[in-house]
Amino acid sequence: MTTQRDRAYVHGYSRREAKRLLDQAGVLTGLLHHDTGYPPGSLVLEAGCGIGAQTVTLAEKSPGALITSLDLSRSSLLLAEVRAREAGIRGVTFLRGDIDALPFADGSFDHVFVCFVLEHLPDPVSALACLRRVLKPGGTITVIEGDHGSAYFSPDSEAAGKAIDCLVALQKEKGGNALIGRELYPILSRAEFLDVAVSPRMVYVDASHPELVEGFTKQTFTAMVEGVREEALGQGLIEKTEWDQGIRDLYRTCEPDGTFCYTFFKGTGVKRLTPPRGRTRRRGPGAR
């Protein structure tokens, strides 16, 4: 079944995309997750787990935590379950559901974890407010997002920049925001989280890191851009010759004298212990 939301995922649901997501998760585990981990017994919601690219890491980093991994796509959930089983992961409950209509009571979780999800949502502040509702007072949220505007490289290339801009435009057209990483601080603040702290996680790639050249520049980033080729050309966002040049130039940065930079952002916030002043409903004499 393909839902409206399924179609809104700019990268699609192909097998190649699944491989890309897993490559990305493997290469970036240390960078993104060295400080991810929840105590035994804590109740954790992974909202928007997709094919489970981060779920196994999350579970491995949090032995004894009770993780609920939610996604809207049934086919992705099936892949995520298989992947978790193959990795010998227990203690993760997979559940179909929508972030905007979470099937949980208020204050159900100690921690919420959201990775590469907000970038695809039309109203991330509202989504965060929904996630805040199911957090216990004092509970934490962790958000990880990329920012395609953070990509730069050597040799520099206008065509490659334009190809990347196509992906940004297509994601925007679907209601997403591929430049959301830089906005995590204001977004978490607007969603009324406290103690908001954001740290950049920069991927810097040169020939002395061949695993990043292959695993990040080629298999993650360039593969992601290439994934929207048909749509970008079909919509006339770019000329075919310029697109092809842009993709060639991205591969060119993988040569021994090339470099590539990209930054992810990881943000955390805390749900306040008491309701904000002015929002508490005062019951007057006539109130029911």
124 scored as a contact of a second copy (CB under 8 A): no
Site string for a second copy, 19-58 (x = CB under 8 A): ----------------------------------------
106 Cβ neighbours under 8 A, 6+ residues apart = 133, 134
User: 278 vs 9, 115, 150, 281, CA distance in Å?
Assistant: 38, 32, 39, 8
- As a whole number of angstroms, the longest Cα–Cα distance in the chain is 76
Size of the site for a second copy (CB under 8 A): 30
Q: Which of residues 135-174 bind a second copy (CB under 8 A)?
A: 147, 149-150, 152-154, 156
Query: 179: alpha, beta or left, given left = phi > 0 and alpha = psi -120 to 50?
Result: alpha
Query: Which C-beta is closer to a second copy: that of 36 or that of 259?
Result: 259
Which run of H or of E encompasses 266? strand 259-270
Question: Of 2, 14, 199, 235, which one interacts with a second copy (CB under 8 A)?
Answer: 199
Q: How far apart are CA 258 and CA 237, in angstroms?
A: 27
Identity (one letter) of the amino acid at 197?
A
Of 196, 183, 84, the residue nearest 140 (C-alpha) = 196
Candidates 74-82, 117-125, 180-188, 218-226; binding stretch for a second copy (CB under 8 A): 180-188
With beta carbons less than 8 A apart as the criterion, state whether 137 and 271 touch.
Answer: yes
Query: Which C-beta is closer to a second copy: that of 54 or that of 259?
Result: 259
Which run of H or of E encompasses 32? helix 15-33
204 scored as a contact of a second copy (CB under 8 A): yes
179 scored as a contact of a second copy (CB under 8 A): yes
Q: How far apart are CA 285 and CA 288, in angstroms?
A: 8
Query: Which C-beta is closer to a second copy: that of 106 or that of 257?
Result: 257
Question: Of 206, 231, 242, 244, which one interacts with a second copy (CB under 8 A)?
Answer: 206
185 scored as a contact of a second copy (CB under 8 A): yes
Identity (one letter) of the amino acid at 212?
L
239 scored as a contact of a second copy (CB under 8 A): no
186 scored as a contact of a second copy (CB under 8 A): yes
198 scored as a contact of a second copy (CB under 8 A): yes
User: Residue 273 CB, nearest distance to a second copy (Å)?
Assistant: 20
Question: Of 29, 75, 108, 263, which one interacts with a second copy (CB under 8 A)?
Answer: 263
DSSP alpha helices (H): ranges in 51-155?
55-61, 74-86, 124-133
Query: Which C-beta is closer to a second copy: that of 106 or that of 123?
Result: 123
Question: Of 107, 261, 270, 272, which one interacts with a second copy (CB under 8 A)?
Answer: 261
Question: Of 78, 106, 257, 273, which one interacts with a second copy (CB under 8 A)?
Answer: 257
Question: Of 71, 110, 165, 183, which one interacts with a second copy (CB under 8 A)?
Answer: 183
Q: How far apart are CA 87 and CA 141, in angstroms?
A: 25
With beta carbons less than 8 A apart as the criterion, state whether 114 and 71 touch.
Answer: no
SS3 call for 113: strand
Residue 128 half-sphere exposure toward CB, CA atoms < 13 A? 28
Which residues contact a second copy by CB under 8 A? 147, 149-150, 152-154, 156, 179, 182-183, 185-186, 189-190, 196-200, 202, 204, 206-208, 256-259, 261, 263
